[in-house]
Structure 1
């Protein structure tokens, strides 16, 4: 069974032209099958402000009304995705850009209203890898933005960490899948003030202890929940850290295990 890497990058790379160019150059040289997932960084917020569209957030999560959905579709599926594809082509890495609607690859449902109405935000329900497998077998790298669809004509803003996790799970039936979350820290830190306090291995039991002791909290929790969701659904390996972990075997990072 072949190994497939699903790699997610966020704002720390996307918002910095030099960092993005450097990452994509290294990514292009990675041997083997790979899928790239990217978030939206700050560009959508910047464009919304230019267009006088209010940016509404709740606990760090974007509330997506109709105007906001139009903006993030332009930015995520258009500007960011196509610039990444163009740079990969310049690095001789043949790639095709995807939203979840393309090839019917990721179907979501609109998040039900509980305490907060998040608007056109999607929760992933199904991943179809058939089209993607054809591309991978022909050495073409899929590059996903954080947009899915509901199979009824509606696009939905969807968390990029979740998309990466669900893609890795979907591919696990046919490949030995590895999931990498690249972000601005060296890994999950025991002390957020100390970059060197990387917790190198976290299993289910240790995760509970870290949460109970408030060592891990707030923004890191959804990311780690996605990690454990993947590891408990046949993804072989999940790692969190700076993108160096992909290219340097000695780079410190956090590995998630059962």
Structure 2
């Protein structure tokens, strides 16, 4: 029987708030079994870029990553944010190791081709080095991945953290029974956006189609759920969506997605 692996992606709203981040890291540390954390840090990167006189350009919620912006992202994602999280996890008794996709050749990607928009140094994932990651897990290290990959030719690439979490879960599903957790500011997929407790607790492919037809899943939630079902269709066991409290064993108010 495959051992269980939890892969948790944490959003920027928690990373920005020290009190909330501390709460989350305690819950993450207490999460049973082996685990991996994936994080971004976009708001901090925007703040630092502004201090350095570098304009942040966004298109449809995606950052245009020119050479200067890539330097800022590397400093914030792989440096300040990643190492702060690792240090706090060590303080909580979780033996964490901070990584980008370049470390141990963990995640290779290619630079996104220019079509209607030139996103610059943005990467789309090609492969997960499951053997290296598995070796870290076997010696009881907890990998903490920032939202950066590399192309194998010396180029770092800014890569969507949701996608990295999904691809890690897919890549490691051959070895482990993987569960993917997307932690964000809502309690889950909501039937009524104005009612924080109107969580759709169980979503399979039939329910997903119903939510799409009714327009309940739309706008920013649409790409998130597309990512979820991409993972489920590629051997990930289940995906959970909600706020950080879903990592607590006693929590029941979050969305669970299965095929």
Normalising by structure 2, report the TM-score.
0.97
- Length, aligned pairs only: 258
Contact 1:124 1:163 in 2 (8 A): yes
Question: Which residue of structure 1 lines up, in the alignment, with residue 199 of structure 2?
Answer: 198
List, as ranges, runs of 4+ consecutive aligned residues in structure 1 with deviation greater than 4 Å. Answer: none
Q: Is the 8 A contact 2:202 2:257 kept in 1?
A: yes
What's the counterpart of residue 27 of structure 2?
26
Question: What corresponds to 1:257 in structure 2?
Answer: 258
Taking the TM superposition and a 5 Å limit, the aligned residue runs for 1:184-195 are 184-195=185-196
Does residue 159 of structure 2 align to residue 128 of structure 1?
no
C-alpha distance in structure 2 between counterparts of 1:203 and 1:125, whole Å = 27
Task: State the SS of the aligned residue for 1:70.
Answer: helix
1:118 maps to 119
| Whole-Å separation in 2 of the counterparts to 1:183 and 1:128 | 27
Q: Give the drift of 1:103.
A: 0.6
Query: Is structure 2 residue 250 aligned with structure 1 residue 239?
Result: no
Structure 2 match to 1:17? 18
Q: Which residue of 2 aligns with 1:73?
A: 74
List per-residue Cα deviations over 1:182-220 (Å, max 9, x = no partner): 000000111111101111122223223322332111111
1:145 shift after superposition = 0.2
- Give distance in 1, aligned partners of 2:30 and 2:214: 41
Q: 2:191 & 2:49 partners in 1: Cα distance?
A: 36
Task: Show structure 2 runs of 5+ residues with no match.
Answer: none
What do the CA deviations read for 1:22-54 (whole angstroms, capped 9, x no partner)?
A: 111221122210000011141000001101101
Instruction: Give the distance between the partners of 1:117 and 1:205, measured in 2 at CA.
Output: 36
Mapped to 1, the partners of 2:34 and 2:61 lie a distance apart of 33
Using the TM superposition, name which of 212-221 and 171-180 deviates more.
Answer: 212-221
Written as runs of structure 1 = structure 2, the 5 A alignment for 1:1-258 is 1-258=2-259
- Specify the SS of the correspondent of 1:108: strand
- CA distance in 2: counterparts of 1:64 and 1:239, whole angstroms: 30
- Normalization by structure 1: what TM-score? 0.97
The residue matched to 2:223 in structure 1 has which SS?
A: helix
Output the CA distance in 1 between the equivalents of 2:194 and 2:26. 31
What is the rounded CA distance, in whole Å, between the counterparts of 2:61 and 2:187 in structure 1? 22
- For 1:223 and 1:166, the matched residues in 2 are separated by 13
Q: Is the 8 A contact 1:48 1:68 kept in 2?
A: yes
Q: CA-to-partner distance for each residue in 1:216-248, whole Å, 9 max, x for gaps?
A: 111111111111011111111100001111113
Q: Within 1, Cα distance between the matches of 2:42 and 2:12?
A: 4
| SS of 2:119 mapped into structure 1 | coil
Give unpaired runs (5+ residues) of structure 1: none
